């Protein structure tokens, strides 16, 4: 397990060549996997996240941040290219943008091209979790100078002990295990140690800034964490979602298209165990983030390092009768987003304007003075970092697909698809969520977050909301059109993967 890690460590001094930094800031980019907004700093009454809470206390917390596609691969490709999924052409897992738009400059690649050291630890692009842990997964070699893929006891040693709704499967199904092993023996614990090691060597190279990306695997299934984190959440204290049948009565079929038949096996005790394991995985993740933040502070890097923390998408824990991801409801589309950019904003500020993960690329390049590609579709969040009350774009858009072979999560296409691909798009404004399925032909949804933050009452067919629907539909259609490339066509997939040679950027 450790030999691969140390062999990679040996090549690190060869790639960390000196280059004048000119006082440019470092970037520490941390992303979690399948994390919703169940954090203390977002007001969750139970989940303990002291380290992310302290990061939020010294940065800006974005209260309405949204992914562009609530599935790992499409979301991460969009975020790291600064393009909407319709422009990356990545609408499913197990794909990489080099198969569709091979010459696009990725976010870390843009930093490499200007002399930054760029390294990756863990999952940044898509991985098949847990099977790809310890490998490069569906990665982009041109994005990095260093790739570290540690793998811990949770990958193979403990898999036979994991409970799963579908025996023998772990990644796409609800599965969990309270491990007797210590943090440092788990994959995410090893990744935190790797990050500390890399940061120490970056700190020694004072004349070259770094872009270090750290992709933790938790709380993605299987929810494996040391038992002491499970003990923080007694099952009896965990409430369950109720009223699902009534909630679903006014929903289009596609709104529930991410439902999995295997979830019929869930009893109330199993639901509580799943929630317990998910919360335990979050607090375990938080502890690993804390280790990295402590290292950053210990090395004196904190005041010249932009720290970003986010997730690839949100996650359902029974809301609307759904579990996991790939819906267009708030629980699935919303993500935590914290940006600590020293000297830019009042510590602990909260921004309420809707933003997207697609906005991170132009934000970080502006903060660091790095030249971005001309075709980025996101909008820099620097004005909001300077003034969290700034209005920003005022909306975010997310999408999913149903049927047509694009749904890789195991959810059956909704009735009536006949194998045809159906697109769903959802516009989130400060007050409203408006969703269309197949351009409205297969259903519409409208939720008023001022009075219905749980999105329980679909108002799309209410006569008194007709003008609101019309206005939001116009706004959504413009946003969808703008999400496409200039030629208006979603890029086609190639079986070949092309990556630039950036050994000496």
Which amino acids are annotated catalytic?
72, 126
Termini Cα distance of the chain? 31
d(CA 326, CA 234): 28
- Residue 174's Cβ-count burial label (10 Å; 0-12, 13-18, 19+) is buried
Show the tokens assigned to 193: 């140690």
**How many residues can be counted in the chain?**
505
Long-range CB pairs of 241-244, under 8 A, 24+ apart, other chains included: 241/317, 241/318, 241/319, 241/321, 243/456, 244/318, 244/320, 244/321
* Sign of the CA dihedral with 201 first, then 202, 203, and 207 last: positive
Other CB atoms within a 10 A radius of the CB of residue 163 amount to 17
Cβ 409 vs Cβ 429: under 8 Å:
no
Q: Are strands 117-122 and 349-351 parallel, antiparallel or unpaired?
A: unpaired
Show the tokens assigned to 31: 């992303």
d(CA 228, CA 222): 17
């Amino acid at each position: 397990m450790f030999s691969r890690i140390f062999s990679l460590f040996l090549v690190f001094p060869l790639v960390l060549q000196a280059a004048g930094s000119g006082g440019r800031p470092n970037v520490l980019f941390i992303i979690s996997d399948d994390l919703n907004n169940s954090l203390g700093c977002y007001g969750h009454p139970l989940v303990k996240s002291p380290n992310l809470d302290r990061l939020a206390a010294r940065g800006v917390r974005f209260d309405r941040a949204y992914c562009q596609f609530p599935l790992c691969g499409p979301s991460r490709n969009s975020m790291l290219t600064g393009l909407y999924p319709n422009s990356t052409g990545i609408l499913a897992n197990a794909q990489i943008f080099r198969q569709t738009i091979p010459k696009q400059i990725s976010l870390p690649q843009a930093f490499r091209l200007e002399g930054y050291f760029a390294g990756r630890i863990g999952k940044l692009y898509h991985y098949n979790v847990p099977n790809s842990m310890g490998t490069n997964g569906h990665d982009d070699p041109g994005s990095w100078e260093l790739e570290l893929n540690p793998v811990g006891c949770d990958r193979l040693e403990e898999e036979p002990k994991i409970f799963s709704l579908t025996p023998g499967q772990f990644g796409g199904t609800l599965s969990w295990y309270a491990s007797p092993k210590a943090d440092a023996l788990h994959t995410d614990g090893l990744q935190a140690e790797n990050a500390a090691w890399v940061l120490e060597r970056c700190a020694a190279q004072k004349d070259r800034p770094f872009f270090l990306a750290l992709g933790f695997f938790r709380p993605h299934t299987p929810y494996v964490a040391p038992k002491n984190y499970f003990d923080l959440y007694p099952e009896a204290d965990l409430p369950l979602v109720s009223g699902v049948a009534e909630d679903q009565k006014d929903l289009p079929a596609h709104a529930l298209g991410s439902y999995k038949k295997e979830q019929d096996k869930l009893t109330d005790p199993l639901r509580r165990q799943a929630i317990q394991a998910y919360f335990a995985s979050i607090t375990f993740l938080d502890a690993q983030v804390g280790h990295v933040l402590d290292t950053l502070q210990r090395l004196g890097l904190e005041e010249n390092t932009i720290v970003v923390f986010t997730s690839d998408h949100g996650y359902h824990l029974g809301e609307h009768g759904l579990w996991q991801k790939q819906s267009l409801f708030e629980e699935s589309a919303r993500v935590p987003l914290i940006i600590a950019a020293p000297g830019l904003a009042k510590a602990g500020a909260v921004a309420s304007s809707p933003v997207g993960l697609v906005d991170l690329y132009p934000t970080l390049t502006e903060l660091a003075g790095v030249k971005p590609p001309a075709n980025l579709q996101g909008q820099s969040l620097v004005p909001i970092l300077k003034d969290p009350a700034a209005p920003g774009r005022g909306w975010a858009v997310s999408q999913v697909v149903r049927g047509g072979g694009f749904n890789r999560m195991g959810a059956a296409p909704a009735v009536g698809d006949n194998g045809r691909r159906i697109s769903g798009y959802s516009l989130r404004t400060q007050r409203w969520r408006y969703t269309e399925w197949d351009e409205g032909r297969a259903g519409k949804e409208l939720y008023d977050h001022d009075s219905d933050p749980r999105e329980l009452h679909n108002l799309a067919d209410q006569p008194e909301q007709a003008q609101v629907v019309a206005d939001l539909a116009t706004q959504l259609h413009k946003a969808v059109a703008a999400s496409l490339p200039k030629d208006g066509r979603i890029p086609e997939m190639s079986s070949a993967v092309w990556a630039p040679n950036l050994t000496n950027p």
